[in-house]
């Protein structure tokens, strides 16, 4: 209804030029040697009429928006939701707003999103990228828009990264299961070539090889819905009766796997060792409580936003890219307790 007030109206009402007002509003009064009393008069009036500059116009003019785009695989996934929350909080404190969106790991959707955010002059990007968007992301970087990648890398893209040591995480988890006496450790993962999943697979295989144990790998199609994932996992477990422990590659695979195991009660080994990737609020309550590889979510969020703000504040100076590799923590609970520890002790600690 009511027409928004513009800087022009303000100028007319105050009998001052728009330039002056613009300078005052942008904190350049001193620099431009505008009298303190005028500054005060303007500020007072601005407050009275509740004027707020149109940020769209400002953005169009300056190319800046104070908005950061956060693209994750699925905002309903607790890992991403929590990290998004923390990033939003920290960004907000530094005067930035966050626009987030889910990529669904879809190349097409991600491309479209990148385009649309770029058009809207988003200042920087934090992305957990699907495979294949290397080109678009490079275009972004060449365009001078800072990009931080997290959770996974992209082969062709060179920029700041925040990652966990996936291979070391699964490696140590498997060692733990072996130490607990498990012999036939399965790895239930996704059929994904993404770097983080490949890393997890690598750690699993390396640990098994070191102990001369057999691989039991089940790759679930990424596109499968919950119900079908459960069915596939259940079928796998029924077929592989020898499996005595499972390492799950992602948080939702673990949950779906637990449901599958639940349905199979009595049909499979009663005391299956279990380790999940990503911790979960309810894992400690489960019986048995579930051992999990916990990602350092707070530190990751912190690092990601710090790196981005740094880049944002030193746009022209080409700094070398930083690649941050973080350690996970194996939270040991009841689900990975085995018959008893083996005697084999291996001293190699990291990947």
Partner DNA sequence: CTGAAAGCGCTAACAG
Partner DNA sequence: CTGTTAGCGCTTTCAG
97 binds a second copy (CB under 8 A): yes
101 touches a second copy (CB under 8 A) = yes
3-state secondary structure 99-159: EEEECCCCHHHHHHHHHHHHHCCCCEEEECCCCCCHHHHHHHHHCCCCEEEECCCCCCCCC
Check whether the bond before 288 is cis (ω within 30° of 0). yes
**Can you list the positions of beta strands (E) in the chain?**
67-72, 97-102, 124-127, 147-150, 160-164, 185-190, 216-220, 245-248, 273-277, 291-294, 323-326, 329-331
The answer to whether 111 and 137 have CB atoms below 8 angstroms apart is: no
Q: What residues form DSSP beta bridges with 100? A: 70
Q: Which of residues 291-350 bind a second copy (CB under 8 A)?
A: none
Nearest approach in angstroms of CB 21 to DNA is 7
Instruction: Give the 3-state DSSP-derived string for 253-295, with helices as H, strands as E and coil as C.
Output: HHHHHHHHHHHCCCCCCCCCEEEEECCCCCCCCCCCCCEEEEC
**Among 143, 212, 316, 319, which residue sits at the site for a second copy (rule: CB under 8 A)?**
143
Q: Does 9 bind a second copy (CB under 8 A)?
A: no
Cα–Cα separations (whole angstroms), residue 194 to 137, 149, 201, 215, 307: 16, 13, 11, 20, 23
Number of residues that bind a second copy (CB under 8 A): 47
Interaction partner, residue 294 (a second copy, DNA, none; CB < 5-8 Å by kind): none
When binding is defined by CB under 8 A, the residue of 22, 38, 74, 321 that contacts a second copy is: 74
Q: How far is the CB of 55 from DNA (least distance, A)?
A: 7
Q: Does 48 bind DNA (CB under 7 A)?
A: no
116 binds, options a second copy, DNA, none, Cβ within 5 to 8 A by partner type: a second copy
C-alpha count within 13 angstroms, C-beta hemisphere, residue 71: 28
State yes or no: residue 47 binds DNA (CB under 7 A): no
Residue 238 CA: distances (Å) to CA of 222, 243, 260: 21, 9, 10
Establish if 319 lies at the interface with DNA (CB under 7 A).
Answer: no
Residue whose pair of structure tokens reads 């007072």 in the numeric block: 44
Residues 17-46 that bind DNA (CB under 7 A): 17-20, 22-23, 25-26, 32-35, 38
Q: In the complex with DNA, which residue's Cβ is closer, 50 or 340? A: 50
Min dist CB 12 to DNA, Å, is 10
Does position 120 interact with a second copy (CB under 8 A)? The reply is: yes
Q: Which listed option, DNA, a second copy, none, makes contact with residue 23 (CB within 5 to 8 Å by class)?
A: DNA
Beta carbon of residue 65, minimum distance to a second copy (angstroms, whole number): 8
**173-181, 192-200, 256-264, 309-317 -> range binding a second copy (CB under 8 A):** 256-264
Q: Taking CB within 5 to 8 Å according to partner kind, which of DNA, a second copy, none is near residue 215?
A: none
Handedness of CA 233, 239, 241, 243 (dihedral sign): negative
Q: Is-contact 163 196, C-beta < 8 A?
A: yes
User: Which C-beta is closer to a second copy: that of 105 or that of 184?
Assistant: 105
Q: Phi/psi class of residue 30: alpha, beta or left (left: φ > 0; alpha: ψ in -120 to 50)?
A: alpha
Distance of alpha carbon 308 from alpha carbon 145, whole angstroms: 10
Q: Which is nearer to a second copy, 2 or 33 (CB)?
A: 2
Q: Nearer to a second copy by C-beta: 31 or 225?
A: 225
Alpha-carbon span 50 to 342, nearest angstrom: 72
Going by the DSSP 8-state scheme, the letter that residue 319 receives in this structure is P
Residues that bind a second copy (CB under 8 A): 1-2, 52-57, 59-60, 74-76, 78, 81-82, 84-85, 88, 92, 97-102, 109, 113, 115-116, 119-121, 142-144, 255, 258-259, 262, 280-282, 284-287
Residues that bind DNA (CB under 7 A): 4, 6-8, 15-20, 22-23, 25-26, 32-35, 38, 53-54, 57-58, 60-62
């Amino acid at each position: 209804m009511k027409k928004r007030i513009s800087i022009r109206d303000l100028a007319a009402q105050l009998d001052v030029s728009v330039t002056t007002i613009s300078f005052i509003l942008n904190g350049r009064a001193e620099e431009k040697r505008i009298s303190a009393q005028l500054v005060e008069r303007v500020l007072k009036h601005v407050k009275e009429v509740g004027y707020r500059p149109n940020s769209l116009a400002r953005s169009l003019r300056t190319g800046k928006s104070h908005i950061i785009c956060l693209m994750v695989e699925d905002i309903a996934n607790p890992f991403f939701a929590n990290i998004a929350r923390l990033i939003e909080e920290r960004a907000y404190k530094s005067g930035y707003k966050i626009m987030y969106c889910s990529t669904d790991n879809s190349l097409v959707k991600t491309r479209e999103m990148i385009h649309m955010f770029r058009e809207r002059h988003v200042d920087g990007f934090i992305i957990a990228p699907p495979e294949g968007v290397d080109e678009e992301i490079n275009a972004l970087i060449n365009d001078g828009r800072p990009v931080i990648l997290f959770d996974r890398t992209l082969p062709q893209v060179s920029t700041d990264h925040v990652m966990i040591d996936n291979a070391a995480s699964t490696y140590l988890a498997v060692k733990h299961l072996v130490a607990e006496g498990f012999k036939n450790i399965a790895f239930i993962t996704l059929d994904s070539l993404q770097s983080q999943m490949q890393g997890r697979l690598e750690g699993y295989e390396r640990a098994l090889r070191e102990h001369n144990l057999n691989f039991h790998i089940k790759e679930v199609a990424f596109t499968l819905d919950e119900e079908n994932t459960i069915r596939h996992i259940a079928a796998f477990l029924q077929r592989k009766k020898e499996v005595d422990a499972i390492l799950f590659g992602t948080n939702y695979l673990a949950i779906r796997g637990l449901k599958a195991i639940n349905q199979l009660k009595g049909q499979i080994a009663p005391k299956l060792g279990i380790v999940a990737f990503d911790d979960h609020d309810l894992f400690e309550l489960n019986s048995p409580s579930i051992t999990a590889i916990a990602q350092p979510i707070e530190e990751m969020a912190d690092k990601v936003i710090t790196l981005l703000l740094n880049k944002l504040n030193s746009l022209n100076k080409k700094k070398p890219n930083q690649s941050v590799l973080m350690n996970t923590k194996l939270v040991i609970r009841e689900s990975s307790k085995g018959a008893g520890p083996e005697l084999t002790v291996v001293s190699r600690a990291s990947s």
